[in-house]
């Protein structure tokens, strides 16, 4: 890939995050979403005449923004700097729909004056740590920053997650999302996407991550590999999986284990047409489908959008859809700066 198409993939990835969050947020925690209503929502947003107030982003993009800004300012991953930005961002704009428990970490970090940035996360849920998708939902800038260093990406995805999420399925979810974006970045969208190969490679890579689960008090020591295998079965269905099956088997909750594989599924499923989603654009299809599943719509659409945007590139994303999203210029700028930093070195 030449650097022009990689630049487009960087933009596609971060714009994909933002669009998924902004467009999915109005539906978060809805469990019955009319396909017709959603089709009209997207048609209107894509159309030239529809004037609506800007769609506001939520905690997903707020934390993604902190990570992107920190990587750009420090030109490396600096956990302390990221922690400070999370806290500053939260206290400036606390009403972005943060997870119920993660805000305790921000209060504790501020109180202890950042002496131990990884400390408060370890105390969450009586020491069990958070298994929410909050680390996965913000990891995309790191996947861009480490696009040419896979081992570093694995290491930093985990470290960045552990500022808030110390439960194994919490940080492994961030690692899986980072790997999915990484794979998309390195594929040529002009060639047909090999859906089964994409998922088999994810399972193979997760088999190197999920190795030391014995100490966990859970039935399945390889939960992500299990979910990804179930995803493959759903992708293989000739008639296409039903929404209920996706919800029941892969999940649509705030738990990373029941939302990251779902987001990956949305990207792969939307490579080909889906009933009741009328569009020729597979990027739009990805986020429209993600939202149609209900539940944690902003976060699943954000993660699916990051993977799809990194695959299809910026030019695949409708301009009018972008115009409805708060901070769209900032997000394209982050992508351009991250590209400049990581390609010119």
Please write down the HEC assignment for all residues of 226-257. Answer: HHHHHHHHHHHCCCCCCHHHHHHHHCCCCEHH
According to DSSP, the residues that pair with 247 across neighbouring strands are none
The answer to whether 285 touches 279, Cβ cutoff 8 Å, is yes
Piece in contact with Mg ion (CB under 5 A), picked from 37-45, 53-61, 259-267, 305-313: 53-61
CB atoms within 10 A of CB 138: 32
Please write down the HEC assignment for all residues of 133-161. Answer: CCCHHHCHHHHHHCCCCHHHHHHHHHHHH
By C-alpha distance, which of 246, 218, 214, 227 is closest to 176? 227
According to the binding rule CB under 5 A, does residue 247 interact with Mg ion? Answer: no
According to the binding rule CB under 6 A, does residue 130 interact with ligand F2R? Answer: yes
> DSSP assignment of 251-307, as one string?
--SSBGGGTHHHHHHHHHHTTS--TT---S-HHHHHHHHHHHT-BSHHHHHHHHHHH
The smaller minimum CB distance to Mg ion, of residues 59 and 81, is found at 59
According to the binding rule CB under 6 A, does residue 59 interact with ligand F2R? Answer: yes
| Count of residues in contact with ligand F2R, rule CB under 6 A | 24
Helices (H) and strands (E) in the chain, counts: 17, 0
Piece in contact with ligand F2R (CB under 6 A), picked from 180-188, 214-222, 280-288, 296-304: 296-304
According to the binding rule CB under 5 A, does residue 59 interact with Mg ion? Answer: yes
- In the list 18, 71, 83, 102, the residue contacting ligand F2R (rule: CB under 6 A) is 102
Q: Considering the complex, what minimum distance in angstroms separates the CB of residue 182 from ligand F2R? A: 22
The mark string for 15-44 relative to ligand F2R (x by CB under 6 A, - otherwise) is -------------xx---------------
Residue 167 interacting partner from Mg ion, ligand F2R, none (CB closer than 5 to 8 Å by kind): ligand F2R
The answer to whether 271 touches 187, Cβ cutoff 8 Å, is no
CA-to-CA dists, residue 264 to 71, 90, 251, angstroms = 25, 28, 12
What is the spatial distance between Cα 26 and Cα 217, in angstroms, rounded to a whole number? 36
The smaller minimum CB distance to ligand F2R, of residues 106 and 271, is found at 106
The mark string for 136-165 relative to Mg ion (x by CB under 5 A, - otherwise) is ------------x-----------------
According to the binding rule CB under 6 A, does residue 89 interact with ligand F2R? Answer: no
- In the list 172, 210, 247, 298, the residue contacting Mg ion (rule: CB under 5 A) is 298
According to the binding rule CB under 6 A, does residue 252 interact with ligand F2R? Answer: no
Piece in contact with Mg ion (CB under 5 A), picked from 152-160, 270-278, 293-301, 320-328: 293-301
Residues sharing a CB contact under 8 Å with residue 211, sequence separation 6 or more, in sequence order: none
- Give the residues lining the site for Mg ion (CB under 5 A): 58-60, 97, 148, 296, 298-299, 342
- Give the residues lining the site for ligand F2R (CB under 6 A): 28-29, 58-60, 97-102, 125, 128, 130-134, 137, 167, 254, 296, 298-299
């Amino acid at each position: 890939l030449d650097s022009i198409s990689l630049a487009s993939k960087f933009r596609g990835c971060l714009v994909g995050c933002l669009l998924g969050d902004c467009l999915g947020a109005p539906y978060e925690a809805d469990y019955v979403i009319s396909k017709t209503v959603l089709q009209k929502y997207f048609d209107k947003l894509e159309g030239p005449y529809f004037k609506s107030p800007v769609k506001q982003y939520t905690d997903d993009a707020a934390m993604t923004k902190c990570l992107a800004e920190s990587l750009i300012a420090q030109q490396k991953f600096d956990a302390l700097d990221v922690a400070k930005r999370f806290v500053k961002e939260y206290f400036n704009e606390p009403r972005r729909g943060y997870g119920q428990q993660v805000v305790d970490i921000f209060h504790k970090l501020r109180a202890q004056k950042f002496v131990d940035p990884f400390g408060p996360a370890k105390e969450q849920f009586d020491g069990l740590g958070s298994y929410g998708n909050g680390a996965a939902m913000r990891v995309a800038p790191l996947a861009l920053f480490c696009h040419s260093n896979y081992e570093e990406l694995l290491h930093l995805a985990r470290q960045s997650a552990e500022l808030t999420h110390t439960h194994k399925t919490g940080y492994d979810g961030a690692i899986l999302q980072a790997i999915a974006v990484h794979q998309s970045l390195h594929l040529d969208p002009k060639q047909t996407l090999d859906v089964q190969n994409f998922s088999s490679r994810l399972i193979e890579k997760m088999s190197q991550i999920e190795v030391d689960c014995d100490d966990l008090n859970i039935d399945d020591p390889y939960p992500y590999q299990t979910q990804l295998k179930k995803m493959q079965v759903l992708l293989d269905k000739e008639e296409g999986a039903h929404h209920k099956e996706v919800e029941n088997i892969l999940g649509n909750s705030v738990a990373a284990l029941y939302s990251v594989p779902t987001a990956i599924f949305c990207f792969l499923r939307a490579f080909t047409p889906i009933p009741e989603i009328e569009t020729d654009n597979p990027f739009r299809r990805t986020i429209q489908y993600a939202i149609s599943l209900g539940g944690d719509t902003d976060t699943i659409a954000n993660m699916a959008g990051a993977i799809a945007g990194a695959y299809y590139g910026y030019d695949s994303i409708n301009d009018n859809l972008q115009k409805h999203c708060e901070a769209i210029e900032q997000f394209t700028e982050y992508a351009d700066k991250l590209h400049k930093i990581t390609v010119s070195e």
